[in-house]
Structures are given as structure tokens and as C-alpha cells.
């Protein structure tokens, strides 16, 4: 039992001992396994970390490589852009030039490599320009501006250039980079804008704008140097006639040929310009310090211009079919005005005004002349302009009035009267029609004034129609060429006739021969329209204008008025009598009434009646008088064989 117990205990001890050894071995083994596992895990983690770091570095290197490649591609693309680029060393030797650069200057690719930059210098570049550029780049690191670069064919290419220095922190400046942009197209556009702004497109002469700038500079120089300068105004005579007859193309040719001739006469410092239309101007600086000598110098040049304009021009024209070019030999003339400046500082407009006034005086004196500026002429023109301005308000303010000069027949019986306009100026008093009628023609005021006369004449005739002693009288109204040329002239007269209710046959319109010469067919058409309304026509001052039998036979005339120049000498000059006799014979043969104007003596009256004149008008018969005086005179002398003159 005891043995059994001992055996059992021994067995248990053995088992327990074996179990403990096994546990010990297992624990030891487990620790080894754990150590190995930890070691392996740590190794794996380290490897994974290493691989991750390596992969990240690889990605970074890949990105850096891609960025570098993109940068290189961008750099190459920029270098080969449309902008010309060159890279040089520190000595200015070209290391590389892109394709745009060599193409711009006409070279093959690579032809500029190794060349010095001075070979790019344009032939017209100002000496020392490149030296100044390099100096500025070395001092400031950059320069930008316009340069002329030399093309391979020897020409100059205008370029906008930027030069930048390249620096290395370690060794300093290593070279330069230059960019070049061809601006020849821009330069050409600027030149075209300049040409349009400062030159006449037809003659290629300087225009008014450029001339005024040159005049300003010349004025400044004249005042500083004490030397006078001169201006010559040239206006081509009757230029409009050439345009009307042959068209503006032929007129343009004359302007161009005129410009060429004037330019050939100019000195080295003279200048000519076209101010517009057919007006040219020549400026001569550096004349003498003496006013008399300077004027003489200017007059010599003006005379040269005057003579060259009188030489025939050969102008190309066309026949009516337009298939064959014909040569027109056209003789031109010019009205020329001369003025000096530089004595005093004055507005430029005053200089031009003086030359223009001198030219205007040339026109007044008959054209094709040379005239110098005259202060008296300027004063006269100023007065004329002031009077013209006053005339514009004369009708509005009631300053105009009508007087009437009677016409009588061979028995001294009044048959009618002529309406005569008078102007009583509020300051100057009575202004002669010889003075204000031409002003009214020029300004156009004559149109409204003429309508006013027609209106008043019709109203007076309506009043006379109610008086048995006056109802047979006619009234003659002068119609100016400007008034007659109005397109609605017939319509305006028709409206006045309707508005007043006058008997049209009592109203007679007096026209001059100059009206007929404007446009014969149109004039005849207007006259016939007015005759259809019941009016009649008279030719005034017959024999002093463009008298022609061809138009006399075609015009609807009721009356011809012999000009007073023939009447004055009729009693003493055989030729005047012969002319009057011919006019009377012509009128009688055509059934036209003949009126003699300007009858002032009994001898003239008797001779005119003897030659067969139908009616008489003049101071012997009647001075111009108000309507009331005419009415009273006619009423008092009605039916009397001998009448006293109406002298008012």
C-alpha cells in the first residue's frame, strides 16, 4: 500500500517533473518564436518602410524629371517662338539665334552663331548707339528700345529690342539675352497715319495742318533771327468751269500738275501746301531784314509762279464714248496775294488773313494778277463784311424800302414803273444799291430780299387795280441770277400770286443776260412756266452782257431795255445811235417793246423817239419816288399831253 502510494507519488512526481520541463521548454521555445517573430516583423516593417521611402523618392525624382522635361520643352518652345532671340557670351559673341531671328534678318539657321553682335547694326543707325546700349545693360542689367537691325540684303529692319544681362552668383555676368520684334509693319502704319494727317492725298503736298505747324516754327525763327518771311496765296482762276466742262478727274489732274510746277520753283527752305480746293500757299523763310527788300524777294517768287501757271497744261480727257483718251491743252491763270510776317509776334491766322486779302484784291481787280497786302484793302474788306452782316438783319428790321421810277410812252403817258430797292442804314444812312446788291448776291440774302420785292409789288398792284386811273400800270421787278437759280423760284412766285390775288399780266420780271448764260434750257423752261402763270419778261441792260440773237429768238420776252451807256451818247455819237437803231429794229421785227433807260436830257428823248423807242425811263421823266408820290403824279397828269417831270 505504501509502495503503491510511493509508486503513485513517484509517478506523479515524474509526471510533474516532465510537465515542468516541457512547460519550460515550451516557454523557452515560445520566447524564441516571439523573438524571431518580432525580429521578422521589424525586418518586414523596415523593408516596407525602406521600400515606401524608395518609392516616394522615385516618384519625386520622376516628377522632377517630368517638370524638368516640361521646362526644357517650354524653354525650347519659347526660344523658337515668333520673337527673335539671341544668346551671347560676355563679349557679345552670338552663341545661339533662334529661327525667328535668322528668318527676320534673311539668314539660314545657324548662320549667326559665332558672329559678333555688331554685325546686326543697321546702316542708318546713329553712331554710338550700340555703345550706349551695352553701357546701360552693364550698369543696370537691362535695356529696351527701338533699333535698326541690318538685313542680309543690306536694308534696315526696325525692331523693338530688349537686352538682358545673365548673371551667375559665383562668377558674375556670363552673357546676354536679346529679344527682337519686327515693327516694320507698325512703322509703316504709323507712316501712313502721318501721311494722312499731314499731307494732301491728291497732290501729296503738305496740308493745312502741317503748313500751320511749319508757319508757327517759321514765325518763331523769324522773331529770333530778325529776318522776315513771306507767304504767297495762289487761287486758280475759273477752276470750277474746268470741273463743270470736263469733270473732276480732269480738274484733279490740273491740281496735281500745278503742285508739280510750284514745287519746281521752290528754294531749299521754301514750302508749298494745298489748303483745299484750288488754293495753294507758298512760305518763304529767311528773307531780308529790310521790309522793302523782303517784299521784293517775295514778289520775284510770286512772278515766277504766275508765269509758270500761264504755260499751257496738257490734261488727259475722254470723248463722249470714253474709248479714246484725248489731250486737252488748257491755259490756266492764278490770282496771287503776297504778305510778309516776322515783324511782330501775332496770331498765325492774321498772317494767312493778310495773304488772303491780297489774293482777294487780285480777284477784285480782274484776276490773273499779283497783289501785295494793303492795310487799306483790309479796312475796306472789314467794312464790307460789317455791311454784309448788317444787311442780314436789314429786311427783318424794316430798313429796306421800295421806290418806283416811272416809264412813259411817246405821248408822255405813264404805262408802268420799275421797283427799285433802297437801304437806309441806321448808322451809315442811305447805302447805294451799287454797294449792297452785290453783297446780297454773295451772301444769299438777295433771295429773301427778292421775294420781299415781289410780294410788295403784287400788293401795290392789287391796290392800284381798285383805282381806275392806276389800274393799267405795270410794275417791273428785278430778279437776280442767284434768286432765279433757286430750284423752287417758280413755286414761290406762284404762291405770292395766289396769296395776293394780283393780275399776273401786270407784273413784269426783269432779268439780265447773265441769267440766260447759266443754263439756257433750264432758264427757258422756268421762264415759260412763269409766262404760263401770266407774267412777262424783260431783258435788262441789253447790249452790255452776253447778247446773242440765238437766245433772243428762243426766250419768251415782252420787253428789251436799252442800257443807259448807249443812251448817254446817242445825241453825239454815231456808233451809239447805230446800236440803238439796230436794237429798235430787232425789237419791232419780233414784236418786242423797246424801253430806253437813263434818259436825262430832252435831246436824248427826242432822238430815242425819232429812232422808234417805245417807252422812256430816266431822271428826265421821274426820279425814284415812293408809291404815294407816283400815284399822285399819275392822277394829276392823266390825259395831259405834256407832263411835268416827277422830281422828288
CB-side exposure of 7: number of CA atoms within 13 Å?
4
User: DSSP character for 544?
Assistant: S
Mean pLDDT of 207-211: 92
Mean pLDDT of 128-141: 84
What is the pLDDT, as a whole number, of residue 509? 94
Q: Are 515 and 540 in contact (CB under 8 A)?
A: no
What is the pLDDT, as a whole number, of residue 648? 45
Pseudo-torsion of CA 510, 516, 518, 522, nearest 10°?
100
Distance (Å, whole) CA 428 – CA 81: 81
pTM for this prediction = 0.56
Q: Are 419 and 402 in contact (CB under 8 A)?
A: yes
Please, which residues have CB within 8 angstroms of residue 205's CB and are 6 or more apart in sequence?
199, 259, 263, 272, 273, 274, 280
Mean pLDDT of 134-144: 86
SS3 assignment for 598-615: CCCCHHHHHHHHHHCCCE
Residue 246 binned pLDDT confidence (cut-offs 50, 70, 90): confident
SS3 state of residue 159? strand
Distance (Å, whole) CA 463 – CA 481: 29
Q: Average pLDDT of the chain?
A: 83
Please, which residues have CB within 8 angstroms of residue 358's CB and are 6 or more apart in sequence?
233, 336, 337, 338, 339, 371, 372, 373, 374, 377
What is the pLDDT, as a whole number, of residue 308? 94
What is the pLDDT, as a whole number, of residue 305? 95
Distance (Å, whole) CA 537 – CA 526: 11
Residue 13 binned pLDDT confidence (cut-offs 50, 70, 90): very low
DSSP 55-68: HHHHHHHHHHHHHH
SS3 state of residue 79? helix
Distance (Å, whole) CA 572 – CA 580: 13
Which grid cell sits at 514?
447773265
**Closest Cα to residue 241, out of 231, 250, 233, 253?**
250
**Closest Cα to residue 139, out of 168, 163, 117, 119?**
163
Which grid cell sits at 452?
420781299
SS3 state of residue 274? strand
Name residue, grid cell 417758280. 490
Name residue, grid cell 552668383. 169
Please, which residues have CB within 8 angstroms of residue 472's CB and are 6 or more apart in sequence?
415
Using CA atoms, how far residue 539 sits from 267, 472, 619, in Å, is: 54, 21, 20
Q: Are 267 and 208 in contact (CB under 8 A)?
A: no
What is the pLDDT, as a whole number, of residue 45? 67
Residue 73 has pLDDT above 50, yes or no: no
Residue 124 binned pLDDT confidence (cut-offs 50, 70, 90): confident
Residue 382 has pLDDT above 90, yes or no: no
Mean pLDDT of 240-268: 91
* Domains of the chain as residue ranges with CATH: 84-187 (3.30.450.20), 202-373 (3.30.70.270), 385-637 (3.20.20.450)
Distance (Å, whole) CA 596 – CA 567: 7
The angle subtended at Cα 437 by Cα 237 and Cα 492, nearest 5°, is: 100
Distance (Å, whole) CA 419 – CA 7: 182
Distance (Å, whole) CA 332 – CA 345: 37
Q: Which phi and psi (to 5°) does residue 335 adopt?
A: -95, 125
CA 113 to chain centroid: 54
Residue 552 has pLDDT above 50, yes or no: yes
Handedness of CA 288, 291, 297, 301 (dihedral sign): positive
**Closest Cα to residue 187, out of 149, 159, 218, 229?**
159
Residue 624 has pLDDT above 80, yes or no: yes
Residue 591 has pLDDT above 60, yes or no: yes
Mean pLDDT of 272-280: 93
User: DSSP character for 620?
Assistant: T
Mean pLDDT of 437-443: 86
Distance (Å, whole) CA 466 – CA 105: 99
Instruction: Measure CA of the first residue to CA of the last residue in the chain; give whole Å.
Output: 199
Most confident of 121-130, 384-393, 505-514: 505-514
Distance (Å, whole) CA 565 – CA 582: 15
Q: Which helix (H) or strand (E) holds 519?
A: none
Percent of the chain with pLDDT over 90: 38
The least confident of 70-79, 285-294, 298-307, 619-628 is 70-79
Residue 573 binned pLDDT confidence (cut-offs 50, 70, 90): confident
Residue 127 binned pLDDT confidence (cut-offs 50, 70, 90): confident
Which grid cell sits at 295?
517784299
Q: Which phi and psi (to 5°) does residue 596 adopt?
A: -100, 120
Which grid cell sits at 576?
451809239
Q: Are 229 and 341 in contact (CB under 8 A)?
A: yes
User: DSSP character for 343?
Assistant: S
**What is the CB neighbour count within 10 angstroms for residue 646?**
22
SS3 state of residue 251? helix
Residue 449 binned pLDDT confidence (cut-offs 50, 70, 90): very high
More confident residue, 574 or 96: 96
Q: Which phi and psi (to 5°) does residue 626 adopt?
A: -65, 160
Q: Are 84 and 180 in contact (CB under 8 A)?
A: yes
Residue 243 has pLDDT above 90, yes or no: no
Distance (Å, whole) CA 17 – CA 25: 12
Q: Are 614 and 409 in contact (CB under 8 A)?
A: yes
Please, which residues have CB within 8 angstroms of residue 576's CB and are 6 or more apart in sequence?
566, 567, 568, 569, 570
CA 443 to chain centroid: 22
What is the pLDDT, as a whole number, of residue 341? 92
Residue 544 binned pLDDT confidence (cut-offs 50, 70, 90): low
Q: Are 598 and 616 in contact (CB under 8 A)?
A: no
Amino acid at each position: 500500500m505504501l509502495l503503491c502510494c510511493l509508486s503513485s507519488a513517484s509517478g506523479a512526481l515524474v509526471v510533474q517533473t516532465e510537465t515542468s520541463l516541457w512547460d519550460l521548454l515550451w516557454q523557452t521555445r515560445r520566447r524564441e518564436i516571439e523573438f524571431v517573430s518580432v525580429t521578422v516583423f521589424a525586418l518586414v516593417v523596415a523593408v516596407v518602410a525602406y521600400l515606401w521611402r524608395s518609392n516616394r523618392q522615385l516618384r519625386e525624382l520622376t516628377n522632377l524629371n517630368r517638370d524638368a522635361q516640361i521646362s526644357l520643352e517650354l524653354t525650347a518652345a519659347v526660344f523658337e517662338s515668333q520673337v527673335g532671340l539671341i544668346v551671347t557670351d560676355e563679349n557679345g559673341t552670338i552663341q545661339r539665334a533662334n529661327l525667328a531671328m535668322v528668318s527676320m534678318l534673311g539668314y539660314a539657321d545657324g548662320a549667326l552663331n559665332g558672329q559678333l553682335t555688331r554685325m546686326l547694326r543697321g546702316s542708318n543707325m546713329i553712331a554710338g548707339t550700340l555703345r550706349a546700349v551695352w553701357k546701360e545693360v552693364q550698369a543696370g542689367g537691362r535695356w529696351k528700345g527701338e533699333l535698326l537691325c541690318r538685313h542680309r540684303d543690306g536694308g534696315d529692319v526696325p525692331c523693338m529690342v530688349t537686352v538682358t544681362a545673365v548673371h551667375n552668383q559665383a562668377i558674375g555676368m556670363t552673357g546676354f539675352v536679346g529679344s527682337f520684334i519686327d515693327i516694320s509693319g507698325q512703322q509703316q502704319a504709323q507712316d501712313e497715319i502721318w501721311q494722312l494727317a499731314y499731307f494732301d492725298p491728291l497732290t501729296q503736298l503738305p496740308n493745312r495742318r502741317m503748313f500751320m505747324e511749319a508757319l508757327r516754327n517759321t514765325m518763331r525763327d523769324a522773331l529770333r533771327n530778325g529776318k522776315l518771311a513771306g507767304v504767297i496765296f495762289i487761287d486758280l482762276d475759273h477752276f470750277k468751269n474746268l470741273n463743270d466742262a470736263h469733270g473732276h478727274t480732269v480738274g484733279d489732274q490740273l491740281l496735281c500738275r500745278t503742285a508739280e510746277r510750284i514745287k519746281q520753283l521752290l528754294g531749299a527752305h521754301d514750302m508749298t501746301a494745298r489748303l483745299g480746293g484750288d488754293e495753294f500757299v507758298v512760305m518763304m523763310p529767311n528773307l531780308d531784314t529790310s521790309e522793302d527788300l523782303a517784299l521784293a524777294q517775295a514778289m520775284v517768287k510770286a512772278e515766277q509762279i504766275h508765269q509758270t501757271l500761264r504755260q499751257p497744261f496738257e490734261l488727259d480727257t475722254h470723248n463722249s464714248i470714253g474709248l479714246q483718251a484725248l489731250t486737252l491743252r488748257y491755259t490756266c491763270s492764278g490770282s496771287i496775294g503776297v504778305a510778309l510776317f516776322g515783324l511782330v509776334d501775332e496770331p498765325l491766322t492774321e498772317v494767312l488773313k493778310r495773304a488772303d486779302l491780297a489774293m482777294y484784291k487780285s480777284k477784285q481787280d480782274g484776276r490773273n494778277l499779283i497783289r501785295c497786302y494793303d492795310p487799306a484793302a483790309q479796312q475796306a474788306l472789314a467794312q464790307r463784311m460789317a455791311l454784309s452782316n448788317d444787311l442780314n438783319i436789314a429786311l427783318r428790321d424794316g430798313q429796306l424800302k421800295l421806290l418806283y421810277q416811272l416809264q412813259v410812252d411817246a405821248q408822255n403817258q405813264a404805262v408802268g414803273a420799275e421797283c427799285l430797292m433802297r437801304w437806309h442804314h441806321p448808322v451809315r444812312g442811305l447805302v447805294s444799291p451799287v454797294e449792297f446788291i452785290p453783297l446780297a448776291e454773295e451772301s444769299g440774302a438777295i433771295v429773301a430780299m427778292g421775294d420781299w420785292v415781289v410780294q410788295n409789288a403784287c400788293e401795290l398792284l392789287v391796290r392800284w387795280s381798285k383805282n381806275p386811273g392806276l389800274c393799267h400800270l405795270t410794275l417791273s421787278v428785278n430778279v437776280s441770277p442767284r434768286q432765279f437759280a433757286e430750284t423752287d423760284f417758280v413755286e414761290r412766285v406762284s404762291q405770292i400770286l395766289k396769296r395776293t390775288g394780283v393780275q399776273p399780266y401786270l407784273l413784269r420780271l426783269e432779268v439780265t443776260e447773265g441769267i440766260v448764260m447759266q443754263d439756257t434750257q433750264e432758264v427757258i423752261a422756268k421762264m415759260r412756266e412763269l409766262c404760263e402763270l401770266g407774267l412777262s419778261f424783260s431783258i435788262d441792260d441789253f447790249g452790255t452782257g452776253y447778247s446773242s440773237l440765238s437766245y433772243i429768238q428762243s426766250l419768251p420776252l415782252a420787253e428789251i431795255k436799252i442800257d443807259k451807256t448807249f443812251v448817254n451818247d446817242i445825241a453825239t455819237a454815231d456808233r451809239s445811235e447805230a446800236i440803238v437803231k439796230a436794237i429798235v429794229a430787232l425789237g419791232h421785227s419780233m414784236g418786242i417793246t423797246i424801253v430806253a433807260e437813263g434818259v436825262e436830257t430832252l435831246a436824248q428823248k427826242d432822238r430815242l423817239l425819232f429812232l422808234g423807242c417805245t417807252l422812256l425811263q430816266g431822271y428826265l421823266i421821274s426820279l425814284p419816288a415812293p408809291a404815294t408820290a407816283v400815284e399822285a403824279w399819275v392822277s394829276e397828269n392823266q390825259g395831259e399831253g405834256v407832263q411835268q417831270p416827277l422830281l422828288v
